Amino acid sequence: MSEVKISAEPRTEFGKGGARRTRRAGKVPAVLYGHGEAPKHIALPAREFAAAIRHGGANQLFTIEISDGTQALALPKAIQRDPIKDTLEHIDLLLVRRGEKVTVDIPVHLTGEPARDTLVMNEQNTLSVSADATRLPDSLEHSIEGLSAGSQVTAADVRLPEGVELVADPESVLVVIAASPTAEQMAAEGGEEPTAEAEEGAEAEEGAEGAPAPASAEA
């Protein structure tokens, strides 16, 4: 994964009001922390950061050039978004060093098609791995070509690039290949057949409706 250079400014305003003013200026509040250093509050250009994340993914490595003359190498640790507007609200950035190993979750992309009349059931979409902070893979791939019903893909099955180590439980299941339901099964799921008691009750009601009304007693 290539590094992205991004500019930043020290942030001196805090609290909700300060954060709103930062966002109105087209920037997003962020904090840099790690390696025992005091957290550094900064403001990042929102559009530039969002574009980098769209292109490189949530594990994009950033070289942050701060206007006070300092520079930092960092990975996004947590990205908060507005649930309605889907805009960036706040970013936590973890300081890293070249050659340092970090643990991250990498997306797993499936390739190929399983056997006919099967369904792909995704249990997990990411895999926890450890790798050099400057050599994190964008994603991992695994083929499910021709897999039959009942097959499973575990974390240990996914081939990792050189220098990348598995952190997740090797036996954790990522994908299950299940048999497609038959027409009969789908019909059965659509509605239950009436029970014998219900049928008898319906017949009794029909008989009662067809019977003549009883004669009234004469005085």
pLDDT in tens, 17-33: 888 999 999 999 999 99
CA atoms within 13 A on the CB side of 194: 8
pTM of the model: 0.75
Closest residue by Cα to residue 166 from 174, 156, 176, 175:
156
Q: Contact 175/108 with Cβ under 8 angstroms?
A: no
Q: Tell me which CATH code domain 102-179 carries.
A: 2.170.120.20
Whole-angstrom CA distances from 113 to 90, 110, 127, 146 are: 39, 9, 21, 6
At residue 177, the 3 state secondary structure works out as strand
- With a cut of 70, say whether residue 49 has pLDDT above it: yes
CATH 2.40.240.10 domain residues, the chain: 3-96
Where do runs of H (alpha helix) occur along the chain? 15-24, 46-56, 183-190, 196-210
Q: Tell me which CATH code domain 3-96 carries.
A: 2.40.240.10
CATH 2.170.120.20 domain residues, the chain: 102-179
Distance from C-alpha of 219 to C-alpha of 217, rounded to nearest angstrom? 6
pLDDT tens for 53-81 read: 999 888 999 999 999 999 999 999 999 99
